[in-house]
Structure 1
Amino acid sequence: MAAPGSVSAAFQEYLRHLGLQDFPCGLGSWNKSCLNAEPAGLEETVPPGEETPEVLLELLRDQHSPWALPHDCSPQDRLLREVAVLAPELLHSSRVFQVVKSLRILDKGVEEVDEGVLRFQQLEELILSANRISKVTSAHLPRALKVLELCCNAVHDLQDLCARPPPELQHLGLGYNRLCGPSQEKHFTVDFWPNLISLDLSFNSLTDLLGLVSQLSTLQNLRILVLQGNPLALIPSYRGFLVDSLPKLSILDDIHIWPDERQQFHGLARQPELIRNEGRVVVSIGEMKGLPDPKAFQQLKVGSEGPMITYSYHVTYEFAEREELEDRGSPEVTQIHQSPTVATLDVDSSAQDTGEAKSHQESAVTEEPKAHSAKVFATPGQPWADTIDFSYRKEHVAKDLVGLMSYLEAGTIVSVVEEKVLSWPVDADAEENTATNKKEGQELKKDSAKGPQPSDKQKKKKQPCEFRSDPPIRSILGTRRVTLKTLLATENMVATVCEFGILIPQKPPEPPVVEEKVRSEVKKGTDKSKTPKAVKGAQASRKTATSPKGKGKNKDTAEVAEGQELQPVLLTVQFQMQLLRWPLAASTQSQENVAMAVGKAQ
């Protein structure tokens, strides 16, 4: 009895699934005489109730037959079912293992390559993708094996596999596993794989490019190599160094190597000092459109004693925390609080995006999938406009390649942030009166001694109005996740237009600062019999804004504030991230072309 979770147990289940004992396969009343068939050339009448092998095979091969296999089944499936018709006695002995040359067991929860696999003495292809295998013992693999595919498993150590590997193996697939360098890179030499032609190590955690290339250079028959998705593939000179270091390689990361590419990178293998374990990423943010004008909904009127409100906008994005910052960077935004002055309606975002926006208000987003910490970078603030062109570009140098890979797998968070600053006019009358009373006696003595002086109207000049500003109020208008996984494969650029939905600003409540200002003046001992200018201005402003006839100089402003209607416009931001490859100059020259492509996409 095969152990649960083994290849042998999965094979037995596989045979039961094929129905090799059921009509029209196997032994039964439909083909009892097949075991006692007469020699060829002698014709006998088929007993009643039985079918000839030809008829039974037709039932298996005809695509309209209810017993036909699906069109996407493997050749091995068809072979076994036909054998069950022509020689059903093989199913009752170990001879069935001699027939199998290709065994595919996909996504069956296999955890162990057990010793029972050795019964497949003629096995040349073993496909065990999408299972739970953590290690493979080479002693359990048939010696005739030529293809071993272990993609999407949990293999983290190759020591047991390399103890006595099949000598004729031509393809080894270890993509999407847990191999970490540099301890595992030593196993890819000619001593273990003398006939290896194709090697897939994609999407692991290999980091030592120089060490891996030194081992792979011993594989004289290697023609196909897949390394994309590893941290070492993020190095700018990664492809050029491999192309020049492995002259017999024909295909790298599913891209054919042409002679002109070899000529371009000729000599790079002799300059290992150019290989730096760092990744270079350029983030660009272009135009933002669809932002409603906040001043059109502002209740406070020109000439009132209320605050002057200024708005600015910037776009934030996350980047891997462990990176070498450059002077061209922009300030970080670490605390952004949601403001009730803006309501978001009809936002095109998933449930995951909604959760992201909530957590982003307090700190960097930490939800899964995310095995990295990130910093938030922001573009310089820009005033409102129908189209805001940030023209932002920043180059990040990431020293931690593993962290950069985790960051690209998780994607980045792009947000639009509104910054509002309230500036209040400073009432200098009370301060001037206090200073005048203190110096009045001294100034009168000096003036009498000097003779006639200019009148007060001539002496007093109009001073510019001074303002004091409150701390800025930041609020997130929209948040989107940008997928960056394509940068781990063969793509060098992600250029997208982020959509944040339709934003409709609400009318902000009238601040009660005027009343507070009156109370503060009363406490300071100001003249209670006189109505302060702030109160008069505020009262006049309120009368003008609430008057049914709209009388006063702020009539037009009041009508705009109360009756303004906004046409729905989608808020969008152009976002671009480029992973710099070798040569760096050629990569940076494509910025303008990509910007044009983004504009067309919008």
Structure 2
Amino acid sequence: MAGPGRCGVLAAFREHLRRLGLQDFPCGLGSWVGGRGHSRGGDPTGQEEAVLLGEESPEALMELLRDRHSPWALPPDGSRQDQHLREMAVLTPELVRGSNVFQVFKSLRIVGKGVEEVDEGLLQFQHLEELILSANQISRITSANLPRTLKVLELCCNAVADLQDLCAQPPPELQHLGLGHNRLCSPSQDKYLTADFWPNLVSLDLSFNNFTDLVGLVSQLSSLQKLRVLVLQGNPLALIPTYRGFLVDSLPKLSILDDIYVGPDERHQFHGLAKQTELIRSEARVVVSVGEIKGVPDPSACQQLEVGSEAPVITYSYCVTYEFAGEDIEDSSSTEVPKIHRSPVVATLDVDTSAWDSGEAKGQQKPAAMEEPKVHSAKVFVTPGKPWADTIDCSYRKEHTAKDLVGLKSYLAAGTIVSVVEEKVLSWPVDADPEENAVTKGKAGRGLQKGSAKGPVLREKQKRKKKEKPCELRSDPPIRRTLGTRRVTLETLLATENLVATVCDFGILMTEQLLQPPSLEEKVRSDRKKGKDKSKKPKGEREVQARQKTTSSAKGDRD
């Protein structure tokens, strides 16, 4: 029996039978069938038994079960097994009463029922050959509670982390063992996957666990002489570049690997690889390439302004940021990489979004969309900034080498964050140095006192110098804004796919309001304001101007 407070297989089975209503109308024995429960197939004498008032014929009852518009029809999520049981409860109800129901089952399917334990009540199914317990909460399986007649055991999507209890007294005739999407890992569980425990195993599913030791696992699996179907995709070891070739050459009797047929050409291609174990390195290489950015509005309306005006000169550049989880990163723009997992290939980024972020990348604060907690540690990488164009060609390619295969698996399962970032720089005209202005003014004043002939020459030189000297600009710190952020799914790379090509469409871009040239009325108002500002000069400056005017008039009188 199941432990206290734990849901066992038998309890889930009985609850399922109760919901099927095998003893309720139109199934089972009741007033609607009278005393005909034992002879529903017809009268042995060949005479049709008269249907009494209030009773229903077997055909009418079966019609109530099969008509999808009937209130007694099986719900859409019901299985064929459920329908078969209900029909049996109409035609031969005595077979599904009490303990007799256990003898009916050769296949038992209990999926997603919250089962936590495989209890000994399962031994009542004396003819059971197939047991499917997927999508439950099973963490351990006691093999003593499994019927010895089992040929198929499916435990996909549970929480199994240890095979020791399962391998204590495993069913001797088992041909398929499904352990995909559990918590098994190397090297502690490799030793339980041998012919000593599973001599008749033909099919084995270990997908999406945490096996990392490719050589060690293969050495154990090679003892399974009847193994023909193997699924290992989704494990960290499947990210190793030589993964498939090594398995194909190491297991010569294998027919299907990761749902892909193993043909003679592939065997010939990888012949001899099993002996070159020095090529098996626990690291994976991932190539990230970013293509083009489209859809960014032209910022030229606010980019080119007159130098010397009060408004700044604004320049824009655009880049793409992405996350990657890895230890060793190498730039290999010219290196040819074998056909392994490549991710993500962002073919086109249609930059349209209303995500307003002032986050910065690569040494700066990350955008808010990237700050959510993750199960892997990732770094943010940034493509070189490019100026605006109708189609901004990033032409970016980088190879990453990851030695933490478990962390890489977690990263690929979660996906990566891709963002398009705009960088705006405001540049202002640099005013002349105040000390230089004072020296220039002093020299100009002395020139006027010594003689009027040198004054115009000096002024002419100053004008020429101003014309020749370009206007210097002082740039403010860059202002970064995230135009669009999207998560790119990379889980297909765990299923031994070689490529992920994604077009990120961020929707409609809400751009900042462009700077418009001032209207005529605004110019008039601005000129008037400047005139008022000039009249409000400091007292000291007005006195200097008054002395200059007095000096000039005195000179005029002497002349």
* Aligned position for 2:346: none
Matched AA of 1:490: T
Output the amino acid matched with 1:206. F
Q: Confirm whether residue 14 of structure 1 aligns to residue 16 of structure 2.
A: yes
- Equivalent residue number for residue 25 of structure 2: 23
- Cross-structure match for 1:568: none
Residue 132 of structure 2 corresponds to 127
Q: Does 1:493 align with 2:499?
A: yes
Measured after TM superposition, the shift of residue 458 of structure 1 is 6.6
In the TM superposition, residue 90 of structure 1 has moved relative to its aligned partner by 3.6
Which residue of the partner structure matches residue 552 of structure 2?
Answer: none
1:147-546 matched pairs, under 5 angstroms: 147-298=152-303, 300-320=305-325, 322-327=326-331, 361=366, 365-367=370-372, 370-428=374-432, 430-434=434-438, 456=458, 461=465, 462-503=468-509, 504-507=511-514
Give the corresponding residue for 1:570. Answer: none
**3-state SS, counterpart of residue 169 of structure 1:** coil
Select the structure of larger CA radius of gyration: 2
The aligned counterpart of 1:598 is none
Per-residue CA distance 1:419-466 (angstroms, 9 max, x = gap): 2222333333534345669999xxxxxxxxxxx9xx655797433333
* 1:24 Cα deviation from its structure 2 partner: 3.2
User: Which amino acid is the alignment partner of residue 106 of structure 2?
Assistant: K
1:96 offset after TM fit, Å?
A: 1.9
- For the 8 Å contact 2:120–2:145, the answer to whether it is kept is yes
Deviation string for 1:444-498 (max 9, x for gaps)?
xxxxxxxx9xx65579743333333222222212212211111111322111221
Q: Is the 8 A contact 1:237 1:275 kept in 2?
A: yes
* Maintained 8 Å contact 2:107/2:128: yes
- Mark the runs of 5 or more structure 2 residues left unpaired by the alignment: 334-350, 445-453, 518-529, 546-559
Q: 2:421 touches 2:483 (CA, 8 Å); kept in 1?
A: yes
Q: Secondary structure at the match of 1:269?
A: helix
Residues 62, 312 of structure 1: CA spacing in aligned structure 2 closer, same or farther, 3 A cutoff? Answer: closer
- Report the AA paired with residue 28 of structure 2: G
**1:499, distance to aligned residue in structure 2 (A):** 1.6
Partners of 2:130 and 2:151 within 8 A in 1: yes
Quote the Cα distance in structure 2 between the aligned partners of 1:309 and 1:234: 46
Between the aligned partners of 1:468 and 1:22, the Cα distance in structure 2 is: 87
Instruction: Tell me how far 1:319 sits from its aligned partner.
Output: 0.9
Tell me the residue number matched to 1:116: 121
Partner SS, residue 370 of structure 2: coil
Instruction: Give CA-to-partner distance per residue, 1:294-330, whole Å, 9 cap, x none.
Output: 231358434425433222111111111x32022459x
The Cα of 1:366 is off from its aligned counterpart by 3.9
Instruction: Report the CA distance between 1:181 and its aligned residue.
Output: 1.8
Q: Across the two proteins, how many residue pairs are aligned to each other?
A: 496
Deviations 1:394-414 (A, max 9, x none): 111111111111111111111
Q: Contact 1:298–1:507 (CA<8 Å) still a contact in 2?
A: no
SS of the counterpart of 1:505? Answer: coil
Cα offset, 1:57, TM superposition: 4.8
Which amino acid counterpart does residue 487 of structure 2 have in structure 1? Answer: R
Paired-residue identity, %: 69
- The answer as to 2:81 corresponding to 1:76 is yes
What is the alpha-carbon distance in structure 1 between the residues aligned to residue 357 and residue 482 of structure 2? 13
- What one-letter code is carried by the residue in structure 2 that aligns with 1:474? R
Q: Tell me, in whole angstroms, the C-alpha distance in 2 between the residues paired with 1:183 and 1:404.
A: 21
CA distance change for structure 1 residues 347 and 326 in 2, over 3 Å: closer, same or farther?
closer
Contact 2:302–2:516 (CA under 8 A) maintained in structure 1: no
* TM value normalised by structure 1: 0.73
Give TM-score, length-normalised by structure 2.
Answer: 0.78
